[in-house]
Structure 1
Amino acid sequence: MRKIIYLLLALIYISGFSQKEKGFELDYSTSKSGSLIQDKNFYLLTAIQNDKAVNQLLQKNSVFKTIFKNKQQEIGSKLTSCKDSISCLISGYQFEEKELKNIDGEFQILMKDEKVLQDFVKNNLRSSGKYENFKNSTDTELLLKAWQLCAQGMDRIMKVYGLGEAPQYAKMDSVSYDVRSKFYKGSVIMWSDFLHNKKPKGNMLFFQESLEFSLSLLYMNHRDEVARYEPLEEKENKKTIAHIKKIDFDAFEYASVLILGNGPENYQDRLSAIGKLNLQLGVLEYEAKKAPLIIVSGGHAHPFRATFCEAIEMKKELMNVHHIPEENILIDPFARHTTTNLRNAARLMIAYQMPLDKKSIVVTNSNHSNYVGNANFNSRCMEELGYLPAVILKRLNSTAIEFLPNAESLHQNPIDPLDP
C-alpha cells in the first residue's frame, strides 16, 4: 500500500513537468540587464527593459509616465528635506498603496488592448519558468502577480539593507553596517544623490528609480552572493554537464545523491565537523553505485558573510579526500536554507536535463534528515517559498530519503534576494 502511495505522489509531481521545463536552461553566461543580481531577482523588470516594444509602451503610457515623474520629484525633494533621516529618504523610493493599485489597474487595461503586452506575457514570462508557481493563473493575473512579487522584493531590500530591519534569518542575512551610524546614513544619502542626480539616465520606466536604488543597497552591503560563481555552466559545473549527456541513467536506481551542507560557525574552518560527516554519508550512497552523480549544496551562509562557499569546499573535499571524479559532482553554491537546498538542486536537474521522473536521494546527518522527512519541513516550504520544491518519498535509512524534483522550483523569490 505504501508503495502505491509513493507512486501516486510521484506521478502527480512528474505531471507538472512539460517538455519546455525539461529543456529549460539557466542562461547566466551574460547578464540581460548588466546585473546578474537583478536578473536573478527581478526577471520581469529585466524582461521589460529588454523588450523594445513593451519598454516603449510603458514609457509612453500616461499613467506610468506620471508615476515615474512623481517618483523623481519626490526623491529629489527628500534628498533636500530629509537631511540625515534614512527612513524619510527611503520612503521616496517605496511604492505607496495608491501607486500599486494604479499600476495594477493600468496593467489590466493594457492587457485587454495591447497585443505586444499579451504576447510578452505569453511568450516570455510563461516560457521563462521564472514565475512557475503562477502558471495556473490567467495571463493578466500572471503579469500582476509577477509585478507584485517584484515590488515586494524591492521593498524587502530597502527595509533590510536600507533601514536595518531584521530579515527572517537575521544571523545570516542582515545589513552589514550599523544603520544608525553617521557613516552609513551618509553613504545611503550620497548613493541616492549619485543615482538621482549624477548617473546618466537610461530607461524612464516607472520602477527604474526604485530598482536601481534597491540594487545599490545590496551592492553597498556586499551582498552579491547570488551572482558569485556564475555562469556555473561555464565554470564549476562545466565538466559535469558534458558528462551528463553520456550517462546511462537507466543503469542506476537513482539520478543523483544530494548532500546537504552544515556550515561552520567560525571564519577559519572551511567545513564543519557535521558537514564532513554529511559528505561521508553521501559518499557511502554514491559508492554503492546507487546514482551516477553527487550534488553538493550550500552557499556563503555560515557564519555571517562567510568567507568560504560550502558547496565549493564540499566539492574539493569529495575530490581530494574521497577521490570522486570532478565530472561526477554538481555544485549549488547559492543555497542558504534547507528549503533552497532542495529547490536549487531541482533547478539544476531541470536545467541540465537530468531524468525528472527518476528519484534522487537527499543525504544528511540523522538529526537534519529527521527534519527533512518531517511534515514541519513541508509547512516551512509552503510558508517561505509558496510551494514544495520536491516531493519527499520513502526513507531509506536514518540519513537518506528519496525525493523527486518539483517544477515550481524554477520560481523566483526576490523576497530572499541573496538566494532568490
Structure 2
Amino acid sequence: MLTLFQQLPELRKMLSTDTAFSNIYKSKTAQVNEAVATCKTDITCYAKALKFTNEEIADIGNRLALLYTENNPLGNLVKNHLIPSGCYAMFAKEQRKTLLVKAWEQDAHAINYAIGVYVEGNKPNYPKIDSISFNLKDKTFAELTSASALLALHGNNKLFFEPAMLFALEALELNERNEAADYEPMNKGVNLAAINQIKKTDWKKYPYSVILVPGAGPEEKDVALSAGGMIRCRLAAIQYKKGVAPFIVVSGGRVHPYKTKFSEAYEMKKFLIKVLQIPESAIIMEPHARHTTTNLRNCARLMFRYGMPVDKPGLACTVKSQSYNITNLLPERCKKELGYYPYKNGKRLSDTESEFYLNTTSLQIDFDEPLDP
C-alpha cells in the first residue's frame, strides 16, 4: 500500500498536501535530526527515532479514516488496488474504510519489524538463517546507522511514512538482504517461457495443475544444489514425463547456509534443464520461499498471478519425510505462523506424492518476514 501511496499521482498529491500528514513528516524529520546529533553509538536511539510508535500508528490510521470517502483517491485505492491485489486478503470482510486502516497498521508494523531485526538486532522468526549481519557494539555499525538515518530524510517525496520506510529498506540493503526481490520481475525473465506456455495450455488434458518441488538447501557454503534437491528434481521429472501436469514449480530461496549466494529454485531449474532434459517452458521458478510453509503459499501466489487454474489440484513431490510433514503437520504450522491455511490436502498417492488444493488467501502479505513478505 505504501508503494501505491508513492506511485498513484492523485493519491500522492492528496497525502502530501494534507496538513496533518505534513506535520507528522515534520515531526519525524525533527526526531531524526535530533537522533543524528545526539545518539552517538546508541543503536536503539536511532531506531526509536525512525520507528512508528503505537500512538503515531493510531493517529495516522484515524486520519486516513477521516479523509476516506468511497470515490476519492483513498476510496479508489481500496476498490481498485488493495482488494483486487489480495495482499490484504485477511481483512477482505471488513468495511472498506476499516480495510484501509488495517492495511496501514500492517504496513507500519512491517517497517517497525524490519528496523527491529536489521538495525536493533532483534531476534527474527528464524534466527539461524535471517539474523542481522552486524555486531551491535561495533562503532562502525553505529556510524553506518547514523548515516542511514540521515539518508532516510532524502527521499524524492515528503510523505509521512517515507523516512521510516527508507530507513527500513536501507537496513535490508546494508545487511545484504534483498532476497524478496530476487529474480524480479520474474514474468519478464526467468518465468517468461513458462508464462508463454501457460497461455497455450489445455488444462483438461492433465489431472494436476503443477508439480511442486520444495527446495532443500545445502549446509556447505560452496555447494550449489544439495543431494536432497537433486533427488526431489528427479522425483518430479518422473511425474512430469508421465504427463500428470504441464508444469513443475521449483520453490526455494537463498536460505541455507546463512547468507548463501545460491538460490534453491534457480539451481533446481538448472538441474532439471541440463541434467534431466526438462524444457524451460515447463519450469516455473519460485525463488523466495524460506520455509516449507511458504513453498505452498508462494506457489499459490504465482499460479493466481499467472492465470493458472487454482481450483485444480496440484501435486507436491518430495522425499518421504517432507511429504508426510506437508500432509500431517504443516497445515497447523501455517495457521500459527501465517494466520491461515494456504492449502488443503487432497489424496495421498505415494510416500513421495500428495495432492493439494491452494487457497488464494495466500496473496496476503506477511508483515514479519521482510525477506519473503
TM bin (shorter chain): over 0.9
By how many angstroms is 1:400 displaced? 1.0
Q: Aligned residue for 1:26?
A: none
* Distance of 2:125 and 2:30 partners within structure 1: 33
Residue 252 of structure 2 corresponds to residue 298 of structure 1: yes
By how many angstroms is 1:100 displaced? 1.5
* Distance of 2:17 and 2:184 partners within structure 1: 35
Deviations 1:58-112 (A, max 9, x none): 2222322221111111111111111111101110011112212211211221125
Task: Kindly report the root-mean-square deviation, in angstroms, between the aligned alpha carbons of the 2 structures.
Answer: 1.5
* Distance of 1:256 and 1:127 partners within structure 2: 24
* Distance of 2:94 and 2:129 partners within structure 1: 34
How many residues are aligned here?
373
Residue 2 of structure 2 corresponds to residue 50 of structure 1: no
- Quick one: higher RCO (CA 8 Å, sep 6+), 1 or 2? 1
* Distance of 1:62 and 1:209 partners within structure 2: 17
Residue 51 of structure 2 is aligned with which of 94, 104, 107? 94
* Distance of 1:384 and 1:343 partners within structure 2: 12
By how many angstroms is 1:113 displaced? 8.3
Q: Aligned residue for 2:197?
A: 243
* Distance of 1:114 and 1:57 partners within structure 2: 13
After TM superposition, list the pairs within 5 Å mapping 1:132-211 onto structure 2: 132-196=89-153, 199=154, 201-211=155-165
Residue 39 of structure 2 corresponds to residue 77 of structure 1: no
Q: Aligned residue for 2:348?
A: 395
Q: Aligned residue for 2:322?
A: 368
Q: Normalization by structure 1: what TM-score?
A: 0.86
* Distance of 1:232 and 1:125 partners within structure 2: 22
* Distance of 1:106 and 1:59 partners within structure 2: 13
Residue 60 of structure 1 is aligned with which of 5, 10, 17? 17
Deviations 1:15-54 (A, max 9, x none): xxxxxxxxxxxxxxxxxxxxxxxxxxxxx00111122222
Q: Aligned residue for 1:378?
A: 331
Q: Aligned residue for 1:24?
A: none
Decide whether aligned partners of structure 1 residues 88 and 73 sit closer, same or farther in structure 2, where only a CA change above 3 A counts.
same
* Distance of 2:150 and 2:312 partners within structure 1: 53
Residue 222 of structure 1 is aligned with which of 150, 173, 176? 176
By how many angstroms is 1:229 displaced? 0.8
Q: Normalization by structure 2: what TM-score?
A: 0.96
* Distance of 2:119 and 2:71 partners within structure 1: 37
Residue 354 of structure 1 is aligned with which of 305, 308, 314? 308
Q: Aligned residue for 1:212?
A: 166
Q: Aligned residue for 1:282?
A: 236
* Distance of 2:206 and 2:31 partners within structure 1: 61
Unaligned runs of at least 5 residues, structure 1: 1-43
Decide whether aligned partners of structure 1 residues 114 and 85 sit closer, same or farther in structure 2, where only a CA change above 3 A counts.
farther
Taking only the aligned residue pairs, the percentage that are identical comes to 37
Runs of 4+ in 1 over 3 A off after TM superposition: none
